[in-house]
């Protein structure tokens, strides 16, 4: 592993959702994953609670089983109204991007088991406890997602690709049983971890800030 020596801004603007450019044939050292996780631990948590857990799956049989559940969830997602090509219907300029996102996601779903490692970040407590107020949800998720994104950014600096997914949560219970995750723990996401094919990633096209920035008044 050699670091890419990206600047802060470069890593923040070129850490893409990597799917087709994951190199499934190159092993990933556990030491690099741990290095990224140690950086992730520097992310903030509410009241400095640090109520997080990180499950790394490298066992092929377990990856196969998780990937099979992911594929099942993906098949339903493809038919759902939140699928990429169903969004931004009001903006024809987004059509091509959304079709590319879907194609890329289909590729990942078909190949998830080939990733050298899968990371499932978790937080303590159930986020789906009935009637949790918005503040509890923002506080719980806001105390794990920064660490997840830090992990992905640190991974990018080390030539690794990641992609934040949530579809396996449709089978969270099955995955919890497979990995021995306790009942009072919430899985938050799943990302494959693999070195990338090449390290030249471009800034993504995004809808302009003007449409989503509100100063003093909505």
Q: For residues 92 and 130, which CB has a smaller minimum distance to a second copy in the complex?
A: 130
- Minimum distance of a second copy from residue 149's CB (angstroms): 4
Closest CA to 29 of 153, 148, 117: 117
Distance CA 107, CA 104 (A): 5
Q: Shortest approach of a second copy to residue 195 CB, angstroms?
A: 17
- Cβ proximity to a second copy: between 198 and 218 the closer is 218
Shortest distance in whole angstroms from residue 148 CB to a second copy: 8
- What whole-number distance in Å separates Cα of residue 98 and Cα of residue 89? 10
Place of tokens 């723990």: 185
12-41 mask for a second copy (x: CB under 8 A)? Answer: xxxxxx------------x---x--xxx-x
Q: Does 68 bind a second copy (CB under 8 A)?
A: no
CA angle centred on 204, ends 199 and 205, rounded to 5° = 155
CB within 8 Å of 73: residues ≥ 6 apart:
167, 168, 169, 170, 171
Would you count residue 5 as binding a second copy (CB under 8 A)?
yes
| Binding positions for a second copy, 172-201, rule CB under 8 A | 172, 179-182, 186-189
Mask of contacts with a second copy, 39-58, x by CB under 8 A?
x-xxxx-xxxxx-xxxxxxx
DSSP secondary structure letters along 174-194: HHHHHHT--TTEEE--BEEEE
Nearer CB in complex with a second copy: 25/34: 34
Residues 143-172 within binding reach of a second copy (CB under 8 A): 145-146, 148-150, 153-154, 156-157, 163-164, 166-167, 169-170, 172
- How far, in Å, CA of 199 to CA of 217, rounded? 41
What is the C-alpha separation between 218 and 212, in angstroms, rounded? 9
Q: Is 76 in the site for a second copy (CB under 8 A)?
A: no
Nearer CB in complex with a second copy: 3/26 = 3
- 95-111 vs 60-78: helix axis angle to the nearest 10? 150
Smaller CB separation from a second copy, 23 or 165: 165
Binding mask 97-136 for a second copy (x = CB under 8 A): xx--x------------------------xxx-xxxxxx-
């Amino acid at each position: 592993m050699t670091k890419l020596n990206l600047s802060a801004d470069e890593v923040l603007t070129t850490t893409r959702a990597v799917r087709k450019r994951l190199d499934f044939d190159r092993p990933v050292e556990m030491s690099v994953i741990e290095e990224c996780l140690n950086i992730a631990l520097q992310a903030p948590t509410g009241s400095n609670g640090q109520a997080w857990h990180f499950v790394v799956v490298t066992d092929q049989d377990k990856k196969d089983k998780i990937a099979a559940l992911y594929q099942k969830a993906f098949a339903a997602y493809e038919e759902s109204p939140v699928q990429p090509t169903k969004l931004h219907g009001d903006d024809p300029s987004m059509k091509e991007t959304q079709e590319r996102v879907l194609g890329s996601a289909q590729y990942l779903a078909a190949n998830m088991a080939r990733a050298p490692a899968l990371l499932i970040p978790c937080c303590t407590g159930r986020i789906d406890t009935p009637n949790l107020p918005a503040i509890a949800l923002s506080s719980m998720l806001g105390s794990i997602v920064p660490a997840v994104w830090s992990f992905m950014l640190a991974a990018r600096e080390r030539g690794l690709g990641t992609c934040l997914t949530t579809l396996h949560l449709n089978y969270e219970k099955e995955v919890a049983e497979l990995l021995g995750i306790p009942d009072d723990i919430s899985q938050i996401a799943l990302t494959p971890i693999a070195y990338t094919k090449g390290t030249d990633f471009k800034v993504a096209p995004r809808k302009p800030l003007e449409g989503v920035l509100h100063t003093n008044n909505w």
